Amino acid sequence: MGFAKRHADPLIPLIGCVLLIGFGALFFPKFLTATYLLQQVQIAAFLGVIATGAMVVILLGQIDLSIPWTLGGAAIISTAMAASGHTALEVLAIPAGLGFGLLVGVINGVGVAVFRIPAMVWTLSVNAMLLGLAVINTGGFNPKGEASGLMIAVATKTTLGIPNAALLWLAYGAGVLWLFRRTTFGRALFAIGNSEKASFLSGVNTTRVIFAAFALAGFSSALGGLLLAGYANQAYQSMGDPYLLPAIAAVVIGGTSILGGRGSYAGTVAGTLFVTLLTSVLSVFQIDPAWRQILFGAIIVAMLLTQRRRIM
């Protein structure tokens, strides 16, 4: 089976994006302005980076539920170091935050690949422990600190009129796409998603691939956390909670099979844009956040049922 056949079609979420923009423009003409669309791309970049890591794990047929506090923990660490007043700590603020995400990813990889504990259970437990550590560290109050100048510049500034966050997402996505298409890791990722046992018998080091996938997911969540901290100029409690369901929704809406082995990064990009625009439309119409969560959950369930029918 060639790589192209493993791809999902991003056309459906792209059509959804056009419909959302058209629907919003009927009530608010600003939906068709370049300023609004670029703002949505900037916001989509935050979710897109996080969804990138979520997709890598989902391609394995696994799921990462530690996104919220991997994201939040990285943001807390980076902002605390950036505002410490010590030059050495300020320089290490971003690497420390990204390293934290990488470490959480490795821990998740140990649980899933070595101890063979279901990813849903392990990563949810890790997320709970990270939450507890954050509460102990902050005493339950909003963490102190502020984003570094570089974090703010990447998250909020533009280059030639294009948001820097979008450019970062573009570069990061290009790197991940290269991994999918040009490396043994990418081929093994799809193979394990189709059948881990068959991949192992074929000589694939499945443990190493699972480790790398969860490490990349943790890194992606941390990178998303740094972008969000730069956008808000601070870290705050539960800043990652609103991104777990939308990140998974973006991947699933983009056509990636929740059972693993099939998906495309183009689909995830399209799904991310759709989720971002949908969130914007719901916000403009002042839909309660609880109903937004219900809607995202319903969309995921609908996509899962659709995928199940295709398999049957």
pLDDT digit string, tens, across residues 156-208: 999 999 999 999 999 999 999 999 999 999 999 999 999 999 999 999 999 99
What is the pLDDT at residue 3?
A: 39
What is the pLDDT at residue 142?
A: 82
What is the pLDDT at residue 309?
A: 60
Residue with tokens 């649980």: 111
Yes or no: say if 53 and 250 are a contact pair by the CB < 8 Å rule. Answer: no
Yes or no: say if 239 and 246 are a contact pair by the CB < 8 Å rule. Answer: no
DSSP code at position 112: I
Alpha-carbon distance values, 64 to 20, 40, 108, 121, 293 (Å): 29, 25, 8, 9, 18
Model confidence at 307: pLDDT above 70: no
CA 274 to chain centre: 14
HEC states along 69-110? HHHHHHHHHHHHHHCCCCHHHHHCHHHHHHHHHHHHHHHHHH
- Report pLDDT digits (tens) over 15-33: 999 999 999 999 889 899 9
Yes or no: say if 256 and 304 are a contact pair by the CB < 8 Å rule. Answer: no
What is the pLDDT at residue 212?
A: 96
pTM: 0.94
- Residue 106's nearest CA partner among 220, 214, 224, 223 is 214
Q: At residue 77, what is the residue type?
A: I
Banded model confidence at residue 1, pLDDT cuts 50, 70, 90: very low
- Report pLDDT digits (tens) over 203-241: 999 999 999 999 999 999 999 999 999 999 999 988 999
Average pLDDT over residues 43-64: 97
Banded model confidence at residue 129, pLDDT cuts 50, 70, 90: very high
The residues pairing with 163 across neighbouring beta strands, listed in sequence order, are: 158
What is the pLDDT at residue 48?
A: 98
- pLDDT cut 90: percent of the chain above it: 78
